[in-house]
């Protein structure tokens, strides 16, 4: 039996000798190549803790193929700023950003002159990534290698976020934290007031709602004058956030007045909470309104109506 | 048959080349391991070959570069120290070697003692704040140095020229 097996084996070997040798050779070559590739250390690059394309927020990484084009884009923009090539720098911005932040090149020139008041250098750090939108924190400062910080105590930075969006393989740039503008047409109306939301401006850390308000009465309507808590809020999944940066005397409408205002709330671009409505929590329809603290209670006591409403988003 | 032999010969040559490559990679890796394991070899103030810099931390490398600059000043090798400065910085503050030499002679003591106060990084720039003391008189002053590393042992620096 054993002899029979040996004979069969020898016979098989004789018939397939060349094939077996080739297979063994290929196997050996694969092992050697694998060994070389595993052990070969390519050109050495100094290891540093600086990872400009890894997001601070969640350690996500900008796709490798986009990293160099992004660096090039930012470098080109800063270089135009340094050389005061206003038009070239302006043309690098996407249309929405231009429209929202700098409708004319003259506005943009003022910004460039302020930021690039001397030759500046910069550093970038990826901050957050949402789908194809990459947010970079860009620190702009004097060329410290050129000055050696002579005459300065510490490094003074001007910092802002550049938002780079990839669409159809093209990178589009917006600056000063601006992410985008979304049309969101919502209306609320009752016998006293009409509230019309037209646009939402998203910057990295907040949302600004552009709202048209119309007073339908012969009375003054006060929506927010900083005298009450939670006068206007943004309703999210799990919390409500109060209005930010309310100007001067707040938001009020004279009889039959119509005006456009901006309601600003903290709402990060990369957060998971969704906005559902704007709550006008302390609407006061007043027979008379002086804006004086001393007369406030008296005016409230004789109010035509006090109520609240929500505008769904 | 001749054709078969030629193919066999080619295969053998190919395998020999691969084996040589394998040997080269192994020897190279062994050498690097030996350098890393030998404490004498890693004393970075003595040698700055890429292999040794590769074993250092980022902070140690930058301090090593700075020490190189200070060593040159202490040893009176002003030209080498001058050549380590960033071009634009040189042009602004020390457009000639003589100006640099006279600044250094006036500013720094003969034997320099350096105490590191802070080490910061802003992107690819490193800012080292040091306290420089004259050992003979105990007088000291603080100064900031800016460094940028382009590759192992390839760097430029500047400082508060005051």
pLDDT of residue B46 exceeding 60, the answer is: no
Please tell me the distance from the alpha carbon of residue B155 to that of residue B68, in angstroms, as a whole number.
Answer: 11
Beta carbon pairs, A and B, within 8 Å: 104
pLDDT of residue B34: 53
pLDDT band at residue B36 using 50, 70 and 90 as cut-offs: very low
Domain ranges in chain B are 1-37, 50-159
Per-residue model confidence (pLDDT) at position B41: 35
- Cα A116–Cα A203–Cα A313 angle in degrees, nearest 5: 160
In this prediction, residue A101 carries a pLDDT of 95
The answer to whether the beta carbons of residues A171 and A165 sit under 8 Å apart is yes
**CA gap A58, A275 in Å, rounded:** 22
Residue scoring higher pLDDT (A50 or B48): A50
Q: Which domains does chain A have, with CATH numbers?
A: 64-176 (3.10.450.100), 180-312 (2.60.40)
Residues B126-143 have a mean pLDDT of 93
Does residue B25 belong to the interface with chain A, where contact is any CB pair within 8 Å? Answer: yes
Inter-CA distances, A239 with A204, A227, A233, A266, B154, Å: 19, 22, 10, 12, 53
Average pLDDT over residues A6-26: 83
ipTM of the complex: 0.73
In chain B, the residue whose alpha carbon lies closest to the alpha carbon of A141 is B122
Least confident piece of the model among A118-122, A199-203, A273-277, B48-52: B48-52
B123-133 average pLDDT score: 95
Q: Do A148 and B159 touch (CB under 8 A)?
A: yes
**What is the predicted pLDDT for the residue at B12?**
77
Mean pLDDT computed over every residue of chain B? 84
- Residue, of A227 and B47, whose pLDDT is higher: A227
Instruction: Report the pLDDT value the prediction gives residue A291, as an integer from 0 to 100.
Output: 81
- Within 8 A of B21 by CB-CB distance, chain A residues are 32, 36
User: Nearest Cα to A266, choosing from A224, A234, A228, A309?
Assistant: A234
pLDDT tens per residue across span A174-198: 999 999 998 888 999 999 999 999 9
Q: How far apart are the first and last CA of chain B?
A: 84
B158–A148 CB contact, under 8 Å: yes
Cα angle A268-A201-A262, degrees, rounded to a multiple of 5: 105
Amino acid B45: pLDDT: 46
Of B86, B121, B146, the CB nearest to A149: B146
B28, B146, B151: residue with CB nearest A145:
B146
Interface test with B, best of A35, A149, A159 (most B CBs within 10 A): A149
**Å from A19 to nearest chain B CA?**
13
Q: How far from chain centre, in Å, is Cα A250?
A: 27
Residue B135: strand, helix, or coil:
coil
Please check the confidence at residue A164 and state whether its pLDDT lies above 70: yes
Contact A129, A211 (CB under 8 A): no
Mutate to test the interface with A, among B69, B125, B126 (most CBs of A within 10 A): B125
Residue B33 pLDDT more than 70? no
State residue B49's pLDDT score: 60
List, for residues A84-112, the tens digit of each pLDDT value.
999 999 999 999 999 999 999 999 999 99
Is B19 within 8 Å of chain A by CB?
A: yes
CB contacts, 8 Å: B123 with chain A:
50, 52, 122-125, 139
Separation in Å, CA of B145 to nearest CA in chain A: 7
CB contact under 8 A, B151 and A46: yes
Q: Is B107 on the interface with A (CB under 8 A)?
A: no
Query: What mean pLDDT is predicted for residues B86-114?
Result: 94
Inform me whether the C-beta atom of residue B23 falls under 8 Å from chain A C-beta atoms: no
pLDDT exceeds 70 at position B40: no
Q: Which two tokens stand for residue A250?
A: 């707040």
pLDDT value of position B16: 81
pLDDT band at B38 (very low <50, low <70, confident <90, very high): very low
The two three-digit tokens of residue A19, written as one number: 């094939």
CATH number of B50-159: 3.10.450.100
pTM exceeds cut of 0.90: no
DSSP letter for each residue of B84-133:
TB-HHHHHHH-SSHHHHHHHHHHHS-SSEEEEEEEEEEETTEEEEEEEEE
The whole-number average pLDDT for the span A126-152 is: 95
Q: Is the model's pLDDT at A167 over the cut of 60?
A: yes
Nearest to B74 by CA among B117, B108, B115: B108
Q: How close is the nearest chain A Cα to the Cα of B15, in Å?
A: 7
Query: Is A144's CB within 8 Å of B88's CB?
Result: no
B22 closest CB neighbour out of A32, A145, A152: A32
The 3-state secondary structure of chain A reads CHHHHHHHHHHHHHHHHHHHHHHHHHHHHHHHHHHHHHHCCCCCCCCCCCCCCECCCCCCECCHHHHHHHHHHHHHHHHHHHCCCHHHHHHHECHHHHHHHCCCHHHHHHHHHHHCCCCEEEEEEEEEEECCEEEEEEEEEECHHHHCCCCCCCCCCEEEEEEEEEECCEEEEECCCEEEEEEEEEEEECCCEEEEEEEEEEECCEEEEEEEEEECCCCEEEEECCCCCCCEEEEECCCEEECECCCCCCEEECCCCEEEEEEEEECCCCCCCCEEEEEEEEEEEECCCCCCHHHHHHHHHCCCEEEEEEEEC
Q: What is the pLDDT of residue B143?
A: 96
**Closest chain A residue to B157, measured at CA:** A145
């Amino acid at each position: 039996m054993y002899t029979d097996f040996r004979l069969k084996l020898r016979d098989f070997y004789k018939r397939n000798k060349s094939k077996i040798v080739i297979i063994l050779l290929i196997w050996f070559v694969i092992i050697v190549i694998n060994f070389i590739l595993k052990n070969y250390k390519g050109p050495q690059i100094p290891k540093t803790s600086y990872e400009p394309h890894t997001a601070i927020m969640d350690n996500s990484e900008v796709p490798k193929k986009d990293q160099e084009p992004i660096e090039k884009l930012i470098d080109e923009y800063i270089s135009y700023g340094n050389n005061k090539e206003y038009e070239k720098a302006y043309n690098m911005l996407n249309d929405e950003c231009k429209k929202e932040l700098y409708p004319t090149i003259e506005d943009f020139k003022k910004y460039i002159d302020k930021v690039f008041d001397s030759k500046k250098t910069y550093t970038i750090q990826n901050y957050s990534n949402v789908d194809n939108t990459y947010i970079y924190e860009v620190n702009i400062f004097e060329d410290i290698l050129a000055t050696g910080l002579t005459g300065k105590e510490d490094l003074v930075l001007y910092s802002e976020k550049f938002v780079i969006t990839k669409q159809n393989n093209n990178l589009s740039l917006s600056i000063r934290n601006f992410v985008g503008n979304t049309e969101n047409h919502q209306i609320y109306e009752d016998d006293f007031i009409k509230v019309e939301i037209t646009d939402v401006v998203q910057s990295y850390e907040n949302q600004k709602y552009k709202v048209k308000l119309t007073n339908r009465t012969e009375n003054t309507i006060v929506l927010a004058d900083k005298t009450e808590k939670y006068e206007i809020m943004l309703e999210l999944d799990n919390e409500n956030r109060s209005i930010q940066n309310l100007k001067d005397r707040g938001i009020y409408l004279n009889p039959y007045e119509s005006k456009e205002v901006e309601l600003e709330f903290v709402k990060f671009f990369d957060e998971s909470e969704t906005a559902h409505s704007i709550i006008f929590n302390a609407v006061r329809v007043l027979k008379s309104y002086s804006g004086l603290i001393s007369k406030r209670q008296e005016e409230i006591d004789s109010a035509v109506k006090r109520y609240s409403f929500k505008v769904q988003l | 048959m001749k054709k078969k032999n030629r193919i066999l010969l080619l295969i053998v040559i190919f395998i020999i080349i691969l084996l040589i490559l394998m040997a080269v990679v192994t020897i190279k890796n062994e050498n690097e391991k030996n350098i890393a394991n030998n404490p004498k070899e890693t004393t970075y103030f003595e040698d700055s070959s890429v292999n040794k810099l590769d074993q250092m931390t980022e902070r140690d490398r930058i301090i090593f570069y700075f020490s190189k600059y200070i060593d040159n000043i202490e040893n009176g090798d002003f030209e080498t120290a001058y050549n380590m400065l960033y071009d634009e910085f040189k042009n602004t503050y020390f457009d000639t070697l003589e100006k640099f030499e006279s600044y250094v002679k006036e500013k720094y003591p003969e034997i320099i003692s350096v105490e590191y106060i802070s080490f910061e990084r802003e992107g690819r720039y490193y800012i080292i704040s040091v306290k420089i003391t004259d050992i003979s008189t105990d007088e000291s002053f603080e100064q900031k140095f800016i460094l940028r590393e382009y590759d192992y042992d390839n760097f430029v620096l500047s400082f508060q020229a005051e």
